[in-house]
Amino acid sequence: MDRFWTEHNTWTSELLRDMARFFAPFEPCDGNLYMALIDALGGTRKKAVFATTNYDLLIEYAIVKSGLLISYGGMPAAPRNMPVIKIHGSCNFLPDMGSGGISGIGFDLSQSEGGSVLDAPIRVAQSTREILEFCAKEDAIAPALALYHPSKRVLYCRSFVRQQQASYLSSVKSASRIYVVGLRVHTVDAHIWQPLASVNTPLFYVGREPGDFTEWARQNKRKSAFSVAASFAEALPTIRSHHGG
């Protein structure tokens, strides 16, 4: 992505639309581990918050298939709603242009120091079809997805994505227990790892780089930090036992 941004900057909006097209169709099958996790957490009784860096909708579909609803943000949430925080945006976060629109033009941000293209409100797409229709219709703008790039720059609806990141920070501060599942320790992503380093809440790591996690905890003097398992499936019994299952 770093090289793409340098060599093909004016194609970035089309790339973001392609990313949304790619991620939108994925749905959880029977036995999906997100659904098992929702069950392990006791639905909404334990007031869990999901925060993810993923662009797809697997968590949302799993929540809906479990008979619950979704709120994009942290606590508090409406009854029967599970809070979901999309730290890097989502393929279903579509710019809401109202009755207006932008078409027939491109954008060159190669000389821009962190600027965005469009900071509009979002509308949450309710189906894969709606996402695909948006991406087919639009030739200038794109969904609110952070670039897969060290900067995690957001070109569309940046204020909304920043609200998601603020909800993540607030949720980390108020949590009684935190699990990090499948996310490699990458300290360049300070917006993710610095909040985790700044609290003393018990932190449980699930991933295949336990040594990196242990070293990160040591360097940050992070107490109550535990490596639980290498995989999500292996960690589920421990998570279930933490929550009375």
Do residue 111 and residue 196 come from a single domain? no
Clarify whether residues 169 and 186 are in a common domain: no
User: With contact defined as beta carbons under 8 Å apart, do 158 and 116 qualify?
Assistant: yes
Looking at the structure, tell me whether residues 13 and 69 fall in a common domain.
yes
155 and 98 in one domain? Answer: yes
Of 174, 198, 228, which one is at a domain's C-terminal end? 174
Indicate left, alpha or beta for 48 from its phi (over 0: left) and psi (-120 to 50: alpha).
beta
Q: What is the pLDDT of residues 138-196, one digit of tens each?
A: 999 999 999 987 778 899 999 999 999 999 999 999 999 999 999 999 999 999 999 99
The total domain count for the chain is: 2
Taking the C-alpha atoms of residue 221 and residue 151, their distance in angstroms, rounded to an integer, is: 26
The residue out of 149, 174, 199 marking a domain boundary is: 174
For residue 145, which of 2, 11, 12 has the smallest C-alpha distance? 12
What is the full per-residue pLDDT of the chain (245 aa) written as tens digits? 778 888 888 899 999 999 999 999 999 988 899 999 998 887 666 689 999 999 999 999 999 999 999 999 999 999 999 999 999 999 999 999 887 888 888 887 777 777 788 899 999 999 999 999 999 999 999 999 999 877 788 999 999 999 999 999 999 999 999 999 999 999 999 999 999 999 999 999 999 999 999 999 999 999 999 999 999 999 999 999 998 76
Give the domain extent around 211: 176-245
